[in-house]
């Protein structure tokens, strides 16, 4: 499960959809890689982005950031065994910069105390998934992730980033979040094998959607002229072929308007 921009503590978050997907992840025994902005966390004192309408009732307290962490632990503890990664998003980065606390590390640490192997990861980095079978066959999938940057594209949905990133990143999967757009787009490339034979391969370019529907509440998206989005996550299915001994990956969106 690839997810980003949960913004779980915002009143306009699609909570029922998020929990439904988390239950699916537990049912499927899926690995969850989260790319940041798990927390909205914009209502701290002195934050110029703060809006009282964006403050959930349970967080209207002096220990605001502690309450965000404690509720996140309670919310995600049932799925601790599925979370493998919590990356920092721009919202967590802002809290670290201005208030000196890293929310993702505090949440990941608490999940580890509950049996998880969840790692707190930086804003951008690499993940390598290695698969072992009962025979010596091994498959590896390299993922270059970033929380993301920019504001997307009103007409292109940010897909123009794929060609740019394809030019300087060599990975099986390049995945981002941040803009609340979503797409799953395979981009082909040609390369030369070690034995000198031209061959085709491709990279999966993925943009994870958000679970924050602030358009419905006439929030930031509506005020800045952005359209409503699709909300949800991306699922990946990985298989090792018995005939070719190769790892195959496929990805699909699981979204609703």
pLDDT tens digits, the chain, 257 residues: what are they? 999 999 999 999 999 999 999 999 999 999 999 999 999 998 887 777 777 677 888 888 889 999 999 999 999 999 999 999 999 999 999 999 999 999 999 999 999 999 999 999 999 999 999 888 777 667 889 999 999 998 777 778 888 889 899 999 999 999 999 999 999 999 998 989 889 999 998 999 999 999 999 886 666 676 777 788 999 999 999 988 776 667 889 999 999 99
DSSP 12: T
Fold of 2-256: Purple Acid Phosphatase; chain A, domain 2 (3.60.21)
Question: Which residues make beta-bridge pairs with 13?
Answer: 212
Give me the pLDDT at residue 157, please.
84
In angstroms and rounded to an integer, the radius of gyration of the C-alpha atoms of the chain is 19
Question: Which residues make beta-bridge pairs with 141?
Answer: 129
* Residue-level length of the chain: 257
- Please give the order of strands across the beta sheet that includes 2-3: 119-121, 83-87, 32-34, 2-3, 231-240, 247-256
| 3-state SS class at 48 | coil
CB count, 10 Å around CB of 66? 13
pTM (2 d.p.): 0.92
């Amino acid at each position: 499960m690839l997810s980003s921009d949960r913004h779980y503590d915002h009143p306009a978050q699609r909570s029922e959809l998020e929990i439904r997907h988390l239950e699916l992840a537990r049912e499927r025994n899926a690995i969850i890689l989260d790319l940041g902005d798990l927390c909205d966390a914009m209502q701290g004192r002195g934050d110029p982005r703060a809006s009282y309408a964006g403050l959930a009732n349970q967080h209207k307290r002096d220990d605001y950031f502690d309450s965000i962490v404690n509720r996140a632990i309670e919310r995600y503890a049932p799925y601790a065994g599925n979370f493998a990664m919590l990356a920092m998003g721009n919202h967590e980065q802002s809290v670290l910069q201005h208030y000196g606390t890293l929310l993702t590390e505090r949440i990941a640490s608490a999940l580890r105390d509950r049996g998880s192997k969840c790692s707190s990861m930086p804003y951008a980095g690499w993940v390598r998934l290695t698969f072992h079978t009962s025979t010596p066959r091994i498959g590896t999938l390299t993922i270059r992730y970033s929380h993301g940057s920019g504001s997307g594209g009103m007409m292109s949905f940010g897909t123009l980033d794929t060609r740019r990133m394809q030019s300087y990143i060599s990975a099986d999967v390049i995945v981002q979040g941040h803009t609340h757009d979503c797409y799953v787009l395979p981009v082909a490339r040609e390369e030369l094998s070690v034995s000198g034979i031209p061959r085709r391969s491709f990279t999966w370019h993925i943009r994870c959607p958000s679970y924050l529907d602030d358009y419905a509440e006439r929030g930031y998206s509506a005020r800045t002229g952005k359209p409503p989005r699709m909300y949800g996550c991306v699922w990946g299915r990985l298989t090792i072929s018995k005939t070719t001994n190769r790892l195959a990956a496929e990805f699909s969106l699981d979204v609703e308007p």
